[in-house]
Amino acid sequence: MIQITVDNGAGENRDLEVPTDVGLNLMEVLKAYEYDIMATCGGMGLCATCHIEVLKGAENLSPCNDNELDTLDTLPDAGAHSRLACQIRPNVNMDGLAIKLKALQEV
Ligand code: FES
């Protein structure tokens, strides 16, 4: 288990206990915690409804793949710390990660 801090974009922070051994990506973890992520592409890195900003721990994430970069490029509000949660697979190195949900602000 690792701990990830999530800002829902409306100023509410929550610390989540996240398993690293069940094969879920971060988008699926957030949905399991009932964050309202549409995930219309089913985690293919195409819909950007799982857009997050990494506030802390970006150095411990695997780099963006080309597909993720292409999708992030289409977002007007993407920044240097933007990622797609579905393209991140939690592992033990990510303990203490802090993220902010971006897409929820737009709905
Ligand atoms: S769920 Fe569609 S881009 Fe992540």
Cα 64 to ligand 1 centre (Å) = 13
CATH class for the region spanning 2-106: alpha beta
Band the pLDDT of 104: cuts 50, 70, 90.
Answer: low
As a whole number of angstroms, the distance between CA 74 and CA 4 comes to 27
Q: Return the best residue to mutate from 50, 64, 99, 107 for the ligand 1 pocket (most ligand atoms within 8 A of CB).
A: 50
Cα 47 to ligand 1 centre (Å) = 5
Residue 73 one-letter amino acid = D
The answer for 8, left when phi > 0, alpha when psi is -120 to 50, beta otherwise, is alpha
Mean pLDDT score across all residues of the chain: 94
Question: pLDDT digits over 13-29, tens only?
Answer: 999 999 999 999 999 99
Phi, psi dihedrals of residue 58, rounded to the nearest 5°: -60, -30
pTM of the full structure: 0.94
Q: Which two tokens stand for residue 12?
A: 């509410």
- Look at residues 25, 1, 44 and name the one whose alpha carbon lies nearest to residue 88: 25
